[in-house]
Amino acid sequence: MTSNAGNSSLQDRFLSDFVDKVLWNGRSDNERLCCELRFHPQNYNQTNAEVAQQINQQLNGSFNTTNMSGTLAAVVAKIKAAFGEQMAADGVESQELQRERGWKPQNPGDRYPWQVIYQWLWEVEFPRRGWDLATNLATCAMEEFKFVDIQERGRDLSPDEIPEGKENINKNEKYALAVRLPFEGYLLLLNRGSKGNYYCLSPSLAFQPKGACLPERPLYLPDSEAKANSLKFEHLGEEYFLAIITEQPLELSWVRPDGNPRDLQVNEQRCQEIFQKIGRQWNARVFYKRFQVVE
């Protein structure tokens, strides 16, 4: 496998694509950096003055920080031009994007236009594009995903001792999946089955409740704390696995101590929840592997 350690994270790629669409015909470094930094998840709690300082630093002192409000207003106008119809279709009220100069929030629910856009961007647009974006960005994990005999799961193996995996999975045979990726974090593992259904294997009560990853040792599905004893596939065809490593664990509403271990299927609503929670973090890394189920 070629690691994507030096490539874009999932959120970074999404934000870069967004900026390109907003400023497709512009060459203003000021506006590009303003758009990138103001709508960056790590900067949400920073003031405009603090973001202006970041812009100035990246432009080697050539940005007049007192122009931040005008620069941001220009960026907001271009976002409205590029995405206004879609935002309206998603329920964003037009008046929330048209505050008068000098307007300030008066009530707890009042927001600046950039805050309205930010919420739409990461809570609606990013989840809508999440699966397609992730599958397009994902690095093929040729060696890091291995189906092994279930008996191998309990062995204390070093990474070099992981048994040879199987590219083909035998129908109705019991397996464990050994995952070893080059990042520390938490594993979200989604499976698109041969029948087109989607499942969340990690985190899950059935296969991997915690999903904490370390580069130096494999993570097994199912692990010793899981409810299931093995992975088994009942239908012929392709099984697609999408792995997303996040810096913090994803607390999914249906994965809880009193939940049903068999509740694994991911519908549109759950997919939206998954990518909303990924969008609240940064630096998610994405990998995939395909296996064929055979007789």
68-110 pLDDT, tens per residue?
A: 999 999 999 999 999 999 999 999 999 899 887 778 878 888 8
- Is 233 part of a structural domain of the chain? yes
157 vs 283, more confident: 283
Same domain, 207 and 232: yes
Supply the pLDDT for residue 149.
85
Supply the pLDDT for residue 107.
84
Q: Last residue of some domain: 89, 106, 136?
A: 136
183 vs 6, more confident: 183
Same domain, 160 and 191: yes
The answer on pLDDT for 156 being more than 60 is no
- Return mean pLDDT, the chain: 91
Q: How confident is the model at residue 118 (pLDDT cuts 50, 70, 90)?
A: very high
Supply the pLDDT for residue 152.
61
Rounded CA-CA distance 210/67 in Å is: 47
The answer on pLDDT for 7 being more than 60 is no
Could you tell me the residue range of the domain that residue 230 belongs to? Answer: 138-294
Q: Last residue of some domain: 136, 169, 199?
A: 136
pLDDT > 90: what percent of the chain?
82
- Is 284 part of a structural domain of the chain? yes
User: Which of helix, strand or coil describes residue 193?
Assistant: coil
What length does the chain have?
A: 295
- Is 255 part of a structural domain of the chain? yes
User: In Å, how far are 47, 138, 237, 242 from 192, measured between CA atoms?
Assistant: 41, 15, 11, 8
Same domain, 152 and 263: yes
Rounded CA-CA distance 200/203 in Å is: 7
- Is 259 part of a structural domain of the chain? yes
Same domain, 126 and 29: yes
